[in-house]
Amino acid sequence: MNEKRIGIAEWCSPIQGPMACRMAAELGLDGVELDLGEARRCLPLSDPGVQKYWLDARQKYAVAFPALAVNALGGCCSLRPKDAAQEALCHEIVTAAIEAASALGIGILQIPNFADFTIRGREDIEPAARFFQWACAAAEQSGIVVGSENTLNGEENLLLCDRVNRPNFKIYFDNENAVFFRGEDPAEQLRRLGDRICQVHMKDGTAEALSSRLLGEGHGQAEECLNAMRDIGYGGWVVLENEYDTGAFNCVGRFAALQRDIEWLKERL
């Protein structure tokens, strides 16, 4: 597993914006996962001027952008749009994300299925599959993989993959989601999903608070998940998503917590 690269999600980094690239390079990270930004702020990363600062920082600090998240969807869209206007807004956001990912040379679009965009179980598989079929068709020409990060169990995610039935559709796996939302074994889910996984978020926490513990010190079975990745031959990115930007790690310091998690991962990859 020593070829695996380690990144950080920009929205939980102690430093955000393009200077996160400098921080990543100085701390020994390989990349920064970006976010399209909020719809109420007109999706900042869709602006070519904003993209230029990120591209300049990427080149200067020699880091990569492993994925682009579309966190805006959960705040203003629904898997079951109430009207044509809401459906059009959803498509507009995803189209903007595809265009931004293409401009930034990013090959994976992470679709977080949370809040109003949650896939709540088998009853939501069909509307989710219709959305992802559309998104995959829109992203295919740019060579972009669309990954769903969701709260489904392993069997439901396999069913979703079968229903979408597009070569550029994958699951964006988060080790803590299985434990926090479903009380299930994330390492077993990893083994079950296998090559259906496009990328991995790694974090740890408790039953009360996601992303609030150093790796290996919470309920997220981080080490067991790394073993499962080895078992399935996963060779992609591991993107840190603990909340290094909040008070969750004030007891040890935000940078100290991030540096510790980087070292913990590097010792085990």
Domain CATH for 21? 3.20.20.150
Is 249 a domain residue?
Answer: yes
Is 1 a member of any domain? no
Quick check: is 146 in a domain?
yes
Residue 143, number of CB atoms within 10 A of its CB:
10
Q: Which of 33-42, 78-87, 201-210 has the weakest average pLDDT?
A: 78-87
In eight-state DSSP terms, residue 241 is -
**pLDDT tens across 183-193, in order?**
999 999 999 99
Give the pLDDT score at 1. 47
Are 244 and 11 a contacting pair, CB within 8 Å?
no
Interatomic CA distance for residues 149 and 199, integer angstroms: 10
pLDDT digits (tens, 9 = 90+) for 101-147: 999 999 999 999 999 999 999 999 999 999 999 999 999 999 999 99
- Is 141 part of any domain? yes
pTM over 0.95: yes
Per the structure, the count of domains in the chain is: 1
Specify the DSSP element, H or E, that contains 54: helix 48-61
Instruction: Give the H or E element holding residue 173.
Output: strand 169-174
Q: Is residue 229 part of a domain?
A: yes
- In whole angstroms, what is the distance from residue 88 CA to residue 104 CA? 24
Q: Is the pLDDT of residue 252 over 60?
A: yes
Q: Is residue 121 part of a domain?
A: yes
For residue 107, give its domain range: 6-268
Does residue 210 lie within any of the structural domains? Answer: yes
Look at residue 61 and give its three-state secondary structure.
helix
pLDDT for 2 beyond 60: no
| Residue 186 domain flag | yes
